[in-house]
Amino acid sequence: MKNVLKNIRTLTKQNLEDYFEILGDEKFRAKQVYEWLWLKPVQSFDAMTNLSKELRNKLKEDFLLPGLTIDATQFSEDGTIKTRFKTHEGHLVEGVLIPTKSRYTACVSSQIGCSLSCKFCATGYMDKKRNLSFDEIYDEVVIINQQCEKIHGKKLTNIVFMGMGEPLLNYKNVLRAIERITSPDGLGMSPRRIIVSTAGVAKQIKQLGDDKVKFKLALSLHAANDRKRHEIMPINDTNNIKSLVDALNYFYKETKNEITFEYILFKDFNDSLKDADELIKLYRQVPVDLVNIIEYNPIDFAKFEKPEEEKIEAFINYLEKHRINVRLRRSRGKDIDAACGQLANKN
């Protein structure tokens, strides 16, 4: 029976050193290969040009180097770029480059599809195929960073895990990807410039606290009482608002990292001043740094609508009057289905 080849990127530097020692080769080969895998990521062993042809062929015999490839790219009028990636077995997943005057943000996915079925999110209407591996998540960031450098002459400044899937249901891969992204022998990004967004998995939020992570956390709240939240986010059945308040307070106690509430306004559903009052009450129970009010972006399957501008303004003004740190996040890339809640592998 033929051996199943191992993905070489699952090996640590020490593993690679051991491998070359067994081959009877020099130890420094491990450092060379590791750099090709992470510092100047290549998609084939043949591209590792400082290795002999014999050694490259040996690596091909012993390992796989599966990576994401670009399947399609769309350019928005506002400068947003959506990329549809293809995995080695043909699954599709999307990531987005969002440029502004002051920052260049990669919005990355953590799963192919999603199992949470949030009623306002296009990905929620897809089946979950599988988790992305840590090196596939890393590939998303690398490719989007290359786009950023090519088009803007700048590296990415920020990463948000707000694409397809629930990051905390792919916990180990997301944390390992962030370790590679922030490592000096990876992309060397500051963890303070990374936000992981969750629909609210209380147990895993506490785990982030135990693991003393250094990145920021965003909770997709979207309703400040259990009845309404349950209606649009089935995860609230098992992770109600009280359990999330407890988990977020624990996370903050252990890490002191910033927490953001994400709140999409839906017309005649969660946009009244009574809803704002409930949000204020909740805000005061958790050390929240910011409330992000998000414009709703229509999707084919959902009945929701965006409120009128005056209603959005009144909601935000009311929060500000009660000394809430609030910001309106305008949607980017709507014309190419790249905005918040729109990712569904459409082209």
Active site residues: 94, 340
Q: Is the dihedral of CA 125, 129, 131, 132 positive or negative?
A: negative
What is the longest distance spanned by two Cα atoms in the chain?
A: 72
CB-based contacts of 146: which residues, under 8 Å, 6+ apart? none
Q: Report yes or no: 92 and 148 within 8 Å, Cβ to Cβ.
A: no
Distance of CA 152 to the CA centre of its chain: 22
Determine if residue 163 is left, alpha or beta; phi over 0 gives left, psi from -120 to 50 gives alpha, anything else beta: beta
Give the C-alpha separation, 87 to 73, whole Å: 15
Scanning the chain, the segments in alpha helix (DSSP H) are: 13-23, 28-34, 53-62, 134-152, 171-182, 202-210, 226-232, 241-255, 273-283, 309-321
Looking at this protein, which amino acid is placed at residue 60?
K
Q: Report yes or no: 76 and 144 within 8 Å, Cβ to Cβ.
A: no
Looking at this protein, which amino acid is placed at residue 10?
T
User: What CA dihedral angle connects 109, 113, 116 and 122, to 10 degrees?
Assistant: 90
User: What single-letter DSSP state applies at residue 211?
Assistant: T
CB-based contacts of 96: which residues, under 8 Å, 6+ apart? 80, 81, 82, 83, 106, 107, 144, 163, 333, 338, 343
Q: Is the dihedral of CA 25, 27, 30, 32 positive or negative?
A: negative
